[in-house]
Structure 1
Amino acid sequence: FVFQFHHLLPEFTAMENVLMPALIAGDEQNARERADELFDYVGMTERRNHYPAQLSGGERLRAAVLRALILKPGVVLADEPTGNLDESNADRLLNLFHKINDDFNQAFVITTHNPNVADIGNRRFVLENETLNLIDSI
């Protein structure tokens, strides 16, 4: 999951936050190497040992995205992921989602009230009167 607010644990470094799901799952051995690769992938290698308070808002959200990816899920659910970001960081995050989708064939389900965010998907749905309806598909 990726939420509007990153929900990183403040007493742990970015690396430790990213590793947390793998540690809980008992997969620490492979997770450290994957985490290093992911931090490099998003250009945060030098920031991985910083605490959340030492990271920018965009860096915290990227760390949250990496945490969602660490166990290689089939689908990443993102709830208003750009809601607390300025336009520049929001664009950067959406570009990252596209890049991850292209490079790793990673599926994302993004909920949003922002039509610009909804436009990045290859399928758009709207929830109206408790019914999910397909708007369009690419």
Structure 2
Amino acid sequence: MVSITETQKIGVGLTGFGLFCLLFGVLLYFDSVLLAFGNVLFLAGLAFIIGPRRTAGFFFQRQKLRGSTFFLGGVALVLFRWPIIGMAVESYGFLLLFRSFFPVAFGFILSLVNIPYLNVEVALPWSEERE
């Protein structure tokens, strides 16, 4: 069993509350204060979960620099009260940053669901081995 430290528990709470604020900010017609608060909490929670050095290392890897620029630029646009454009830029950066993680997440979710036909159909575009 993987043990989780108290700092990581705080980080999970901050990240979850940040995602809640982001969702609520979008539902309230792109409320810039909630979106900015959610962005700050999300980034702080990420730093608490994996540590500040690894967070900076993740965002500033050479192959992820474009995604980081779009993501952090979108955060800056939201902080400067351009919420719709900022969230669009931030979403594009998020997709660029985490595109290698999506197949792993979908595979994990599909292994939990274990629906045979759906599992094969959805897993085909990302799998290396096609039957």
TM-score by length of structure 1 reads 0.36
Structure showing the higher helix proportion among its residues: 2
Structure with max Cα Rg: 2
Structure showing the higher strand proportion among its residues: 1
TM-score by length of structure 2 reads 0.37
